[in-house]
């Protein structure tokens, strides 16, 4: 079948076979199919959609377009993906917790872009920690410790990077089939048998409404099911940042506080909920799926796993036991409550933009960032405030980006004269 014939099929609303998708996507990656034909196909997909099976086939073709990890020699492999948020440091707590439960977390993670932080950027706040491991060292650490995190290979699902760049300039980004296949192609290529999805909803997330988030979660679950993976999804609130810290080193500090059983309850509760989903997918009983991760956290077993993981990848493990050693920017600017009342809004997107302005995020891949800057939140939604009370602290270096950060935070804080009931963090759990 020729490329124009494949385009005609999608233009007319037909579902593709895997061979058709291999011809189209494989040809594009190889440089044989031009941008203008793929652009036409993307618009046809945007307008006509894809069936669940067709979306799964597209995802498999994208996953097979480059390197794949073979984790079949490892027991109980599990991966977690978040659709992005502000202050989302769950991987730093969840991964060692799962390893302490006897599962294997052998994971490729990305760097941050725009207002959302990346796990690798955060871990590099620990001196000496190395995000690059050869395949043999990667598998050896996974077997011995149960936990290894490395930077994402440039050749992991390369079709995704090519398609996303074209979607960005052809008004086809908001397609559930294309979003779901983009996310899941990297998960399939990463090789884990179980995949837990944390789908964020709200101001600081890509999906702004729960209906949109639910639709995306179900699309990804269908891909997982049709690809033979144990996949579960949790919808979580991202109207306000997770925890109390946003910024790379600050988030590592907060994650370590949680592993030391001193952390914020919302971060701890979310990590326990995601761990529960992973253990249920791996066949644990409902009671064990609740109790085993909690015991791993409270006993210090998860902390011990994180310490071993950091040391194995060249990091200074003394930082694990003394988070105060982490390099935090010396500059401080406090933003206070403008009136008495109750905290009603703490806009996640605005806080993410403030971190970006301070230098803690990047607008382009490869851009250098300042891991020491960020924002600390001193109050949670519903908290009673007095005029002049500290609400946020901006950590900055010699005032760099401070004016832009202040501008980003205009209107970010809402104070009500009436008591406010905070929204639940975990909005919904979804499994096929």
Q: Which of the residues are catalytic?
A: 81, 160, 167, 182, 186
Q: Which residues pair with 343 in a beta bridge?
A: 415
- Integer angstrom CA distances of residue 353 from 113, 118, 281, 306, 348: 11, 15, 36, 30, 9
* Torsion region of 108: left, alpha or beta (phi above 0 gives left; psi -120 to 50 gives alpha): beta
377: Cβ contacts below 8 Å, ≥ 6 apart = 87, 241, 244, 245, 246, 346, 351, 391, 392
The three-point CA angle 71-77-80 to 5° equals 115
Exposed / middle / buried, residue 34 (Cβ in 10 Å: 0-12, 13-18, 19+): exposed
Determine the straight-line distance between the first and last CA of the chain, rounded to whole angstroms. 35
Q: Are 381 and 346 in contact (CB under 8 A)?
A: yes
Nearest of 236, 228, 161 to residue 199 by alpha carbon: 236
Judge whether 342 and 419 are in contact, CB under 8 Å. yes
């Amino acid at each position: 079948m020729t490329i124009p014939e494949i385009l005609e099929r999608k233009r007319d609303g037909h579902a593709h076979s895997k061979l058709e998708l291999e011809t189209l996507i494989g040809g594009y990656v190889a440089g044989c199919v031009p941008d203008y034909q793929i652009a036409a196909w993307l618009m046809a997909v945007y307008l006509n959609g894809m069936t669940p099976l067709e979306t799964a086939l597209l995802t498999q073709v994208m996953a097979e377009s480059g390197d794949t990890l073979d984790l079949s020699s490892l027991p109980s492999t599990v991966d977690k993906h978040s659709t992005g948020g502000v202050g989302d440091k769950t991987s730093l707590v969840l991964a060692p917790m799962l390893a302490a439960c006897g599962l294997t977390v052998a994971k490729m993670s990305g760097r941050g872009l725009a207002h959302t932080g990346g796990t690798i950027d955060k871990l590099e706040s620990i001196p000496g920690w190395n995000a690059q491991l050869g395949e043999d060292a990667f598998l050896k650490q996974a077997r011995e410790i149960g936990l290894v995190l490395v930077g994402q290979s440039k050749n992991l699902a390369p079709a995704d990077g090519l398609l996303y760049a074209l979607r960005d300039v052809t008004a086809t980004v908001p397609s559930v089939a294309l979003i779901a296949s983009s996310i899941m192609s990297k998960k399939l290529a990463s090789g884990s048998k179980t995949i837990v999805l944390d789908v964020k909803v709200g101001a600081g997330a890509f999906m702004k409404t729960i209906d949109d988030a639910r639709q995306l979660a179900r699309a990804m679950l269908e891909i997982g099911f049709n690809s033979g993976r144990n996949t579960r999804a949790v919808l979580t609130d991202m109207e306000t940042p997770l925890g109390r810290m946003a910024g790379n080193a600050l988030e590592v500090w907060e994650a370590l506080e949680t592993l030391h059983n001193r952390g914020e309850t919302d971060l701890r509760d979310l990590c326990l909920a995601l761990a529960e989903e992973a253990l249920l997918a791996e066949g644990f009983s409902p009671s064990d799926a609740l109790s085993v991760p909690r015991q791993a956290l409270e006993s210090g077993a998860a902390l011990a796993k994180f310490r071993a993981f950091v040391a194995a990848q060249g990091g200074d493990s003394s930082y694990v036991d003394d988070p105060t050693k982490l390099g935090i920017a010396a500059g401080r600017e406090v933003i206070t409550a403008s009136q008495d009342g109750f905290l009603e809004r703490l806009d996640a997107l605005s806080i993410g933009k403030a971190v970006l302005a301070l230098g803690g995020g990047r607008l382009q891949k490869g851009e250098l960032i300042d891991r020491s800057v960020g924002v600390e939140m001193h109050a949670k939604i519903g908290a009673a405030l007095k005029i002049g009370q500290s609400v946020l602290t901006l950590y900055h270096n010699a005032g760099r980006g401070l004016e832009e950060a202040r501008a980003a935070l205009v209107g970010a804080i809402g104070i009500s004269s009436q008591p406010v009931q905070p929204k639940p963090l975990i909005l919904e759990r979804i499994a096929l």
